[in-house]
């Protein structure tokens, strides 16, 4: 997101307005914490993003949960 404007899916290239003014982006992936960063859109840039959603830790699951299989 750029401000309140959604730019597109995280796995697709984003087109940002070219310039020398820094832009604050917010990256929100379902199941993962949001991440904010500031970029200078004056050259092509690649940002690494989490590849998958955060999974609950085994210790966070109830111990009496049974496997149905």
What per-residue confidence (pLDDT) applies to 6? 84
**Band of pLDDT at residue 5, cut at 50, 70 and 90:** confident
Does pLDDT of 55 surpass 70? no
More confident residue, 59 or 22: 22
3-state secondary structure 17-68: CCCCCCEEEEECCCCCCCEEEEECCCCCCCCCCCCCCCCCCHHHCCCCCCCC
For the chain, the domains span: 1-41
**Band of pLDDT at residue 36, cut at 50, 70 and 90:** confident
Summarize the confidence of residues 7-19 as an average pLDDT: 78
């Amino acid at each position: 997101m750029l401000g309140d404007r959604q730019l597109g899916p995280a796995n697709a290239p984003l087109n940002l307005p070219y310039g020398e003014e820094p832009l604050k982006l917010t990256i929100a992936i379902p199941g993962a914490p949001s991440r904010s960063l500031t970029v200078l859109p004056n050259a092509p840039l690649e940002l690494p993003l989490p590849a998958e959603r955060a999974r609950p830790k085994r210790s966070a699951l109830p111990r009496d949960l049974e496997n149905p299989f």
